[in-house]
Amino acid sequence: MATLQLASWATNLQYANLTSDVLLAANKSFYNWAGCAIGGFASQPAPQIALNSTLGPFSGPATSSILGANGSISHSFADAQIAAFVNGIASHVDDYDDTHLETIIHPAGPVASALLAIAEAYGPVTGQDFMTAFVAGVETECKLGLSVWPQHYDVGWHITSTTGSIGAAVAVSKLLSLDKNHTAQAIGIASTQVIGMQAFFGSDTKSFHIGRAAQSGMLAALLAKNGYTSASDALEAKYGWLHVVSTRENATAYFDQLGREWEIKKNTFKPYPCGIVMHPTIDGAIQLANEISGRSSTIENVKSVELRVNPEVLVLTGKSSPQTGLEGKFSIYHAAAIGLLYGEATPSQFTDEVVKNSTVVTLRRKVNVTIDDGVPTDAAYVMLQFDDGTKLEKHVEHVKGSMENPLTDEELKKKFMEQVTLAIGPDRAQRAYDTFTQAEQLEDIGKIRGMY
Amino acid sequence: MATLQLASWATNLQYANLTSDVLLAANKSFYNWAGCAIGGFASQPAPQIALNSTLGPFSGPATSSILGANGSISHSFADAQIAAFVNGIASHVDDYDDTHLETIIHPAGPVASALLAIAEAYGPVTGQDFMTAFVAGVETECKLGLSVWPQHYDVGWHITSTTGSIGAAVAVSKLLSLDKNHTAQAIGIASTQVIGMQAFFGSDTKSFHIGRAAQSGMLAALLAKNGYTSASDALEAKYGWLHVVSTRENATAYFDQLGREWEIKKNTFKPYPCGIVMHPTIDGAIQLANEISGRSSTIENVKSVELRVNPEVLVLTGKSSPQTGLEGKFSIYHAAAIGLLYGEATPSQFTDEVVKNSTVVTLRRKVNVTIDDGVPTDAAYVMLQFDDGTKLEKHVEHVKGSMENPLTDEELKKKFMEQVTLAIGPDRAQRAYDTFTQAEQLEDIGKIRGMY
């Protein structure tokens, strides 16, 4: 009954059911997504290859905006399928998006990318209806993720996109007002497209996963709307999603909590544009960089950098010799080095140039990693050993961006403005901030591209 | 090295490497695919929903043909992505296509659907180059299938589409003359889109798998061509395709045989439009129908129908109360009943009407299935027990359409003509037969739509 239970909850969900803290989290998640999509399109080749060289020639009537495209209006729109795909890539390509920490799902990308493109194509859609559909999609992804976590992830799936196509399908179904049975068919069609494996972390294909999940979920909802049949037990069937993609499945327990325990309230925002398990190390490295600045023992006198971290750190970010900026985002060695050398970790520290910089490479080679089951994923021990035998150590107990130590509204705004200003300039960035933070109030969110 | 080994073999493959029996098999596989795609589009709603209501409005410039669309030229073309998708659905929707028996892969669908659409969009492409790319794609699918069989299938994946996106990517890469490294990236992008689970057998989503695999593989090749990066160890990486989708992986052993042991030579053609494991039972039922016709003990006097079959029959086709034609294609009970009642099993016996026909339902309820590991998948025992206590039994040793008992050229032609005539009339059907059987000789296969 998992499939119909989910479909039933989503179709019944009303804007009035969303409490103020749910809406606050939804609004933050949405504008953080927009900032990442605008910034990502401008900063990385992946979304531009996807749009300009590859799918541009396949676009039907251009109804939907490419968030970060800074050319003429005619070069900043595509059909809804392509827009969802490109915005999904752009929103994830910097590894700077949001995170549901229990499952390491980055929930906004697949859902918002599909939803905004559809709203622009099929509107008018009020901001309130949009946010309701967005929450439905995010809750879908996270409850599914909880149902199969951690076995599903351990086997190698990229959980953001494997749950993302289903989340996007539920969200788009909601926006298109599909009934319970049609929504169930959409869930089925989405679930049979399992997108994303961890082998591609550090390449353009990682962000492809998010774009393709958005597009696949949208396609599922459109097909279901038009009577395309699927299975109303798609999730729980013996040869359906929950069983095929995981040796553990416990959807029922989590689906019973739909609308009671809100996952979106646990969504967090990344302070650094890279694999999230490296963030505690970066925190510690930046603290050390600040502490030794102006001291006699400087970074040049560092003999070795000793990290003690959770075992997942090496599983996910163990690249010891990254060659590109994207690979640097999955190198704990690079993360420690740039934190120490630059005192910050912004998109500028994850470029091909910095990854190949000889000072960075030299320090990176001095980084030693010890894994320790006793160190939680949001913690790290970072120690500097100097040539003169002295040591300096930092223990990060709760990383910045965690539930215990969240980004403040000012930090979230600063993150948005930095990314977006680089892409479309300061004036439009300010207008984009004002617009996306007020999306819930719009009478027609499909008009948002004209407002910034 | 599996990924690069495959990419290297495919890029080096030449038309001159294809022996006459490989080419014979390729030509048969291709025109059987075309017949199924033309017939399938006309006979079932799935491809029409996909094209007309859903993706039509998203089409870019219409370069590529919808094989079975019988309207004006302008309604029979779409962009290459959409054409691949719709033709893929159409070619599989009747469950009437080809089968590589060792893996139960239906190999032509994903590969040919992607390849013809690309050839039409990016041509000219000679028939010889086309067939070379086609063979590269089919060998890719089947070697991958062998590498993970049977565990991959047992867990619930629909192996035609899970291997199909990679086969399509290799074929399209070949047609676009990508080099080894770019082909490897295409393999990576295709492999991370794992499409198809068995939960959807009996619904429109089963054929969706084939269309989406074709489209996904094409997209992968186009992205790789334009420099989109992936992983050159996509297949063999710890968190890559071979490990994530199966507990067994032995690509190396099979990939060593690329170009030595040709899988396409083992491709077979379905005599009946339904799940292939039911075919031996249908053979036996038809034999019994012929034998008792005109006898005193007729079908009306049948007390029970006793089947002894391979266990896979109930796993894959165990639907005891099918409600639609599509579900009937996966009901061994329906298969036995229509074989006995009609003495044939053509698309006409798998309609919603026949599935609900009271005579059929009555006989279906008399069918009992015993599973027996000792009965091979290409064999069956079919026994009738009459009211007067007499019995009549048939043992089918090698089903029609098997390697040991293949369809003759005449039977393959009859199958093509029956399907295609219903879709586009007898004159165009004859021209289509003449054209598709001679595809290898064409100077530009992209012009094929104008020839029938």
Closest residue on chain B to A231 (Cα): B200
Q: What's the pLDDT at A74?
A: 58
Q: Quote the CA–CA distance of B391 and B386 in Å, as a whole number.
A: 6
Q: Is the dihedral of CA B339, B343, B348, B351 positive or negative?
A: negative
Residue pair A211/B228 in contact (Cβ under 8 Å)? The answer is: no
Per CB-CB distance under 8 Å, the chain B contacts of A208 are 189, 192, 223, 228
When computed from its CA atoms, the radius of gyration of chain A, rounded to whole angstroms, is 22
pLDDT tens per residue, range B376-410: 999 999 999 999 999 999 999 999 999 999 999 99
- Give the residue extent of every domain in chain B: 2-271+417-451, 276-396
Given a contact cutoff of 8 angstroms between Cβ atoms, the answer to whether B185 and A186 are in contact is: no
Instruction: Tell me how far apart the alpha carbons of residues A46 and A34 are, in angstroms, rounded to a whole number.
Output: 17
Task: Answer whether A224's CB lies under 8 Å from A173's CB.
Answer: yes
Tokens of A20: 């103020």
Q: DSSP of A296-318, one letter per residue? A: SS-GGGEEEEEEEE-THHHHHHB
What distances in angstroms separate CA A13 from CA A114, A253, A258, A266, B57, one per listed residue?
Answer: 19, 19, 10, 19, 30
CA dist A100 and B125 (Å) reads: 49
> Exposed, middle or buried: residue A60 (CB in 10 Å: 0-12, 13-18, 19+)?
buried
Do A26 and A69 form a contact (C-beta atoms < 8 A)? no
Each residue's pLDDT tens digit, A223-268: 999 999 999 999 999 999 999 999 888 898 899 999 999 999 999 9
Q: For A145-174, write each residue's pLDDT tens digit.
A: 999 999 999 999 999 999 999 999 999 999
Distance from CA of A199 to the nearest CA of B (A): 5
| Contacting residues of B for A55, CB less than 8 Å apart | 219, 222
- Domain B2-271+417-451 listed as CATH 3.20.20.210: no
Question: Which residues of A are less than 8 Å from B326 in CB distance?
Answer: 229
CA distance B77 to B62: 5
Buried residues in A154-185 as b, exposed as e (16+ CB within 10 A)? ebbbbbbbbbbbbbbbbbbbbbbebebebbbb
Instruction: Give the confidence band of A72 by pLDDT, cuts at 50, 70, 90.
Output: low
Is 90 exceeded by the pLDDT of residue A132?
A: yes
Any chain B CB within 8 A of the CB of A195? yes
A391 touches chain B (CB under 8 A): no
B60: nearest CB among A58, A80, A191:
A58
Beta strand pairing call for B391-396 and B380-386 = antiparallel
Facing residue for B59 by CB, picked from A60, A212, A241: A60
- Tell me how close the Cα of A61 comes to any Cα of chain B, in angstroms: 7
Q: What percent of chain A has pLDDT over 70?
A: 99
d(CA A280, CA A285): 9
Whether residue A447 lies within 8 A of chain B, CB to CB, comes out as no
Give yes or no for residue B72 having a pLDDT over 60: no
Q: Average the pLDDT over B105-128 and give the result.
A: 97
- Cβ contact, residue pair A229, B197, below 8 Å: no
Residues B205 and B158: beta-carbon distance below 8 Å: no
The residue written with tokens 């005539």 in the block is B421
Q: Name the residue among A285, A277, A359 with its Cα closest to residue A318.
A: A277
Is residue B155 within 8 angstroms of chain A, CB to CB? yes
Q: pLDDT at position A278, please? A: 96
Name the class of domain B276-396.
Answer: alpha beta
CA distances from B177 to A440, B112, B132, B133 (A): 49, 17, 12, 10
Provide the pLDDT for residue A390.
93
Question: Using CA atoms, how far apart are residues B335 and A424, in angstroms rounded to an integer?
Answer: 63
Residue type, A2: A
The pair of structure tokens assigned to A198 is: 């961890």
**Interface pTM, i.e. ipTM:** 0.95
The minimal CB distance from A196 to the residues B192, B204, B229 is found for B192
Task: Please name which of A244, A1, A210 lies closest in space to residue A112, comparing C-alpha atoms.
Answer: A210
pTM for the model: 0.95
Residue linked to tokens 């061509």: B225
- Residues A410 and A414: their CA atoms lie apart, in Å, by 6
Which of A77, A86, A197, A233 to mutate to test binding with chain B, by most B CBs within 10 Å of its CB?
A197
- The answer to whether A213 contacts chain B (CB < 8 Å) is no
**CA of A57 to nearest chain B CA: how many angstroms apart?**
7
Q: Does A233 touch chain B (CB under 8 A)?
A: yes
For residue B236, the chain A residue with the least C-alpha distance is: A199
A341 in Cβ contact with A366 (< 8 Å): no
Note whether A181 contacts B: Cβ–Cβ < 8 A.
no
Rounded CA separation B179/B174 (Å): 8
Name residues whose C-beta falls within 8 Å of residue B407's C-beta, 6 or more positions apart in sequence. B268, B269, B271, B400, B401, B415
What was the pLDDT predicted at B252? 86
Cβ contact (<8 Å) for A240 and B209?
no
Taking the Cβ of residue B193 and every Cβ of chain A, the question of whether any pair is shorter than 8 Å is answered with yes
* Fold that domain A2-271+409-451 belongs to in CATH: 2-methylcitrate dehydratase PrpD (1.10.4100)
The reply to whether A2-271+409-451 and A276-396 are identical in fold is no
Binary contact (B197, A230; C-beta < 8 A): no
Cα(A393)–Cα(A434) distance, rounded to whole angstroms?
41
| pLDDT, average across residues B224-242 | 97
The residue assigned the tokens 């729980």 is A236
Q: Closest approach of chain B CAs to the CA of A180, in angstroms?
A: 18
Question: At B415, which amino acid appears?
Answer: K
Is there a contact between B228 and A157 if contact means CB atoms under 8 Å apart? Answer: no
A110 neighbors A221 (Cβ within 8 angstroms): no
Q: Is the pLDDT of residue A198 over 90?
A: yes
